[in-house]
Chain A
Amino acid sequence: MSSIVDKGKQVVEEILEVYPQKLKNDRTEHFEIADEELVNCGTCSIKSNMKSRPGVMTARGCAYAGSKGVVWGPIKDMVHISHGPIGCGQYSWGTRRNYANGTLGINNFTAMQITSNFQEKDIVFGGDKKLEVICREIKEMFPLAKGISVQSECPVGLIGDDIGAVAKKMTGELGIPVIPVRCEGFRGVSQSLGHHIANDAIRDFLMGRRELEECGPYDVSIIGDYNIGGDAWASRILLEEMGLRVIAQWSGDGTINELGIAHKSKLNLIHCHRSMNYMCATMEQEYGIPWMEYNFFGPTKTVESLRAIAARFDETIQEKCEQVIAQYMPQMEAVIRKYRPRLEGKKVMLLIGGLRARHTIGAYEDLGMEIVATGYEFAHKDDYEKTFPDVKEGTILYDDPTAYELEELAQRLNIDLMGAGVKEKYVYHKMGIPFRQMHSWDYSGPYHGFDGFKIFARDMDMTINSPVWSLLPSRQTVEVSV
């Protein structure tokens, strides 16, 4: 075993030393240091998808956040009711930046907070009657809404409301699909179960329900792209430029119709594997649609992915694919020429949700940056297996790390950039460590595709090389000469 692996193990052990025994035992299982063998064979023993320990600061959210916040919320022509008390809907209102075209409040309801605002009496007497009234009122207030989803918050499940029955009744009465989603926040161990529950509802109520007038040989769907800062648009453009026809976006800037016709695809292309693999598997099973994972972060991975996608089609597409690559590569080279010297050798640590902890590694590497530690908020075993081939020996992997573990690691590894969420951001600012929010791109983006990589590179440079860091008395930063 190499010394770098030993060193990593030692660092982790030291950090976990302060924990009470039970917590220490638990947390130890959620770390792994990549050694050559692991990297080569892609196997790992890291524990994931387990309950967070109480009393620590986990970065995780809940099933509601996964369902309403991630999967359903971006579907723009439906009204999503945050069903229950006021808070959940308020905190998930417009904060994820899943962009959608349309007129807000008329035919686009993404950046809105529509809630049943449960009061004590609703807890005591149940909220089903109220939910009926709400559905009718939504039909009145938002006549162009093509559907309604009912996103359950904790109390709804606990008091035993039958939102399924209400939804069924209202679907009949209103003539638009009303879809119950039992994504109460106490279900499961993280937002990941929320994705699953959300997808199950899509499967049960929408998938395969609509027709596509004319099918074509090049029809594909984008699965698991939530259009953060316009990501899905920056991805779609490449697929279209290489001659494919994107018939559905699940679910960023998505519509109820796209959810209903995706089963007509010839190939499903999944970006966020963690949130929507169930749907690809289901469509494969039910409709025989093949699917593949792709990665549009950074030119290396984007080119690789574009070619892999093209390989699923004929020569026309493959030729066009090469043209697209050739068209964008000079731009990518210019970006790398400019930014790589400024970012070469910079050490990066990441904690992101379900896929970016590995998907973005290539993009950082395109800029000469090195991932020294990475991990997921809510990944499962397969995510870690997929991560190993992408990391170097000695990289520290963590699952559902506590804020404390990350803070300690960041300091001991002397990193140059931390990429995590808004809850973490300001902690690292205090420490004088450059930080990017890697859930919502720090209000920037898109980061996907070739157009996105330009912004990604610019943002990493502006973050790491800001003169502001050098003003901190206790943190040494090396100015990059330009």
Chain B
Amino acid sequence: MSERLNIVDHNQLFRQEKYVRQREGKRAFEAPCSPEEVTSTLEYTKTTEYKDKNFARTAVVVNPAKACQPLGAVMAALGFEKTLPFIHGSQGCTAYFRSHLARHFKEPVPAVSTSMTEDAAVFGGMRNLIDGIENCIALYQPQMIAVCTTCMAEVIGDDLSAFLANARQEGALPEDMPVPFANTPSFSGSHITGYDAMLRSVLETLYNKSGRTPQPGHELKLNVLLGFEGYTGNFAEMRRILELFGVPYTILGDHSSNFDSGATGEYSYYYGGTPLEDVPKAADAAGTLAIQQHSLRKTLGYIKRTWGQQLSSISTPLGIRATDRLLEEISRLSGIEIPEALKQERARILDAMMDSHTYLHGKRVAMAGDPDMLIGLIGFCLELGMEPVHIVCSNGDRKFEKEAELLLKSSPYGTEATVHCGQDLWHMRSLLFEDPVDLAIGSSHLKFAAKEANIPLLRVGFPIFDRHHLHRYPIIGYQGALNLLTQFVNTILDVMEEQAPDHSFDLVR
């Protein structure tokens, strides 16, 4: 390398004396609170009195761990081959969905908008929808367009069904182009509800279009649904497991290749996804297995009602027992015994857990995230002898809460836990101060509370903006359990070593 320059960026630069002086000088114009006031208020916010106020609030929401419906609908749309997510409403939302997903997956996110403005608010967005369909077909040549709505379209009451019929009549939308659509207002549910609504619509639309009648069990095949899945690695792991079983399968909504494509020198809008023709055929499968039951309620209801298949739905299979359950369900639905290779794998992961458990045992944990993932995490923590203490689920409901409580009751390690549904990460902050724990598990959004509580954050879930590649590694199945275990135990060892006095800075752990 040529001339060595000492270039410091934001992380170091502003520690330089000149910037410290600048910071202090600027206070003269800020009319700031006094340092004493800041310190005393900070301390006050850590008290029980503050916590009680925090939990008494009824209207304001601070740092929630949930996003809105159309984000999930976009993800669901990208689970299908050559499908263009099309968002009907004002255009800023689309920019947000694209950037939010791009920041998590570090991948491009194709999606278009009808770009509705004031005039559409008055006259409705039909013209925008029809023109938009014509434009996007010319430009992106999709096989399917998956339309969802933003708040704006929902509030003014745009009728997607009628608009799409008009688009066909006008010839902007070819007769044979499937256009599933879902109403996805941000003012109800969350990203998982939107995922569910769009997936259901895709299945229904493609199935109805085929004109078939269901013949459940006609094929020895499983339908597999992963739901609002932030881990592309989980798709690979699910496929590997099913292939070890030797059971033919169709993943309904496989967005993994669209969110994990290679750099080849060329960009394509579409990298993969479930082939459209596989959807009607899926109605003939022996059964359907869903690994996010809370995120897939409408979809599962549709499959049950219309396709009449055997259904099995579990929460994200994290850890050993949940994976056992997953394998048992695959075995039950397919009639194939659990393969020896997976049994051996289980034994190896158990061995790893035995090796590591001492560092994790008794560690008190706070966690936040989506309902299915939380059920999985609770289960895995209990298996490791870790103690879930604070569980915050901003988008959970009574059904989730009951399930979580039942699971916690099943283990002596779960007795201290409290489940907080509909609460946010500012509630979590109070919980962490009032009843401290050793570790936090959740998305990047939890990093602020974790930092204040001075505990490490194990990044699991969605979104993970501030670490690279975690989503490429599976967290489901035995292999996923090993990945999580590795992340958990080594984080704890890192913390131990940071805190270790010289005499305990051990070579062997």
Interchain residue pairs with CB less than 8 A apart (21): A51-B115, A51-B117, A54-B128, A55-B86, A55-B133, A57-B112, A58-B91, A58-B113, A60-B92, A65-B95, A85-B185, A87-B67, A107-B32, A114-B63, A144-B33, A186-B117, A187-B118, A229-B9, A337-B3, A444-B10, A454-B5
A-side interface size class? 35 or more
- Output the residue of A55, A430, A474 with the most chain B CB within 10 A: A55
Q: Is the CB of B32 within 8 A of A185?
A: no
* B-facing residues in A270-308 (Cβ within 8 Å): none
- Cα A188 to Cα B119 with chains together (Å): 10
Q: Interface residue count for B (Cβ, 8 Å)?
A: 106
Judged by a CB distance under 8 angstroms, whether B93 is at the interface is yes
Q: Quick one: which of A116, A230, A403 contacts B60, CB cutoff 8 A?
A: A116
Chain B min CB distance to A347 (Å): 17
Judged by a CB distance under 8 angstroms, whether A43 is at the interface is no
* B-facing residues in A140-157 (Cβ within 8 Å): 140-141, 143-144, 146, 153-155, 157
Q: Is the CB of B187 within 8 A of A257?
A: no
Chain B, 57-69, contact with A by CB distance < 8 Å: what is the 0/1 string? 1111111101111
Q: Cβ of B23: which chain A residues have Cβ within 8 Å of it?
A: 101, 233
Chain B min CB distance to A224 (Å): 17
Q: Is the CB of A402 within 8 A of B139?
A: yes
Q: Is the CB of B150 within 8 A of A117?
A: no
Q: Quick one: which of A88, A113, A261 contacts B62, CB cutoff 8 A?
A: A113
Q: Is the CB of A430 within 8 A of B96?
A: no
Chain B min CB distance to A24 (Å): 10
Selecting from A31-39, A131-139, A359-367, the interface stretch reads A131-139
- Cα A212 to Cα B38 with chains together (Å): 23
- Cα A256 to Cα B31 with chains together (Å): 8
Q: Is the CB of B32 within 8 A of A186?
A: no
Q: Is the CB of B22 within 8 A of A191?
A: no
* A-facing residues in B49-78 (Cβ within 8 Å): 53-54, 57-64, 66-71
Chain B min CB distance to A43 (Å): 28
Q: Is the CB of A112 within 8 A of B115?
A: no
Q: Is the CB of B186 within 8 A of A20?
A: no
Judged by a CB distance under 8 angstroms, whether B338 is at the interface is no
Q: Is the CB of A62 within 8 A of B92?
A: yes
Judged by a CB distance under 8 angstroms, whether B396 is at the interface is no
Q: Is the CB of B45 within 8 A of A23?
A: no
Q: Is the CB of B14 within 8 A of A233?
A: yes
Residue ID in chain B nearest A455 by CB atoms: B9
The 9 A-B residue pairs with the shortest CB-CB distance, nearest first, are A62-B92, A87-B68, A55-B132, A54-B132, A474-B265, A55-B135, A85-B186, A91-B96, A257-B31
Q: Cβ of A86: which chain B residues have Cβ within 8 Å of it?
A: 61, 64, 66-68, 186-187, 190
Q: Is the CB of B62 within 8 A of A423?
A: no
Chain A, 243-255, contact with B by CB distance < 8 Å: what is the 0/1 string? 0001111000101
* A-facing residues in B2-37 (Cβ within 8 Å): 2-3, 5, 7, 9-10, 13-14, 18-19, 22-23, 25-26, 29-33, 37
Judged by a CB distance under 8 angstroms, whether A168 is at the interface is no
Q: Is the CB of A53 within 8 A of B115?
A: yes
Q: Is the CB of A187 within 8 A of B31?
A: no
Judged by a CB distance under 8 angstroms, whether B507 is at the interface is no
Q: Quick one: which of A55, A84, A95, A256 contacts B136, CB cutoff 8 A?
A: A55
Q: Quick one: which of A53, A111, A115, A429 contacts B135, CB cutoff 8 A?
A: A53
Chain A, 26-66, contact with B by CB distance < 8 Å: what is the 0/1 string? 00000000000000000000000001111111111111110
State whether A93 and B60 are in contact (beta carbons under 8 Å apart), knowing that A20-B134, A87-B71, A429-B263 are contacts in the complex: no
Q: Quick one: which of B117, B188, B267, B445 contacts A93, CB cutoff 8 A?
A: B445
- Output the residue of A91, A249, A426 with the most chain B CB within 10 A: A91
Q: Quick one: which of A18, A119, A444 contacts B188, CB cutoff 8 A?
A: A119
Judged by a CB distance under 8 angstroms, whether A338 is at the interface is yes
State whether A87 and B70 are in contact (beta carbons under 8 Å apart), knowing that A134-B59, A141-B60 are contacts in the complex: yes
Residue ID in chain B nearest A121 by CB atoms: B187
Chain B, 128-166, contact with A by CB distance < 8 Å: what is the 0/1 string? 110111111011100000000011100110000000000
Judged by a CB distance under 8 angstroms, whether A237 is at the interface is yes
- Cα A341 to Cα B1 with chains together (Å): 12
State whether A87 and B186 are in contact (beta carbons under 8 Å apart), knowing that A23-B135, A61-B96, A144-B33 are contacts in the complex: yes
Q: Is the CB of B91 within 8 A of A334?
A: no
Q: Quick one: which of B53, B70, B110, B156 contacts A57, CB cutoff 8 A?
A: B110
State whether A54 and B59 are in contact (beta carbons under 8 Å apart), knowing that A158-B156, A474-B266 are contacts in the complex: no
Q: Is the CB of A103 within 8 A of B38?
A: yes
* B-facing residues in A354-401 (Cβ within 8 Å): none
Chain B min CB distance to A259 (Å): 11
* B-facing residues in A222-240 (Cβ within 8 Å): 229-230, 233-234, 236-237, 240
Residue ID in chain A nearest B259 by CB atoms: A426
Q: Is the CB of B62 within 8 A of A141?
A: yes
Q: Quick one: which of A133, A445, A473 contacts B9, CB cutoff 8 A?
A: A445
Q: Is the CB of B264 within 8 A of A430?
A: yes
Chain B min CB distance to A410 (Å): 10
- Cα A114 to Cα B98 with chains together (Å): 22
Q: Is the CB of B151 within 8 A of A153?
A: yes
Q: Cβ of B262: which chain A residues have Cβ within 8 Å of it?
A: 430
Chain A min CB distance to B49 (Å): 11
Q: Cβ of B38: which chain A residues have Cβ within 8 Å of it?
A: 102-103, 106-107, 144
Chain B min CB distance to A428 (Å): 8
Residue ID in chain B nearest A112 by CB atoms: B63
Chain A min CB distance to B405 (Å): 24
Q: Cβ of A234: which chain B residues have Cβ within 8 Å of it?
A: 13
Q: Cβ of B53: which chain A residues have Cβ within 8 Å of it?
A: 140-141
Chain B min CB distance to A251 (Å): 13
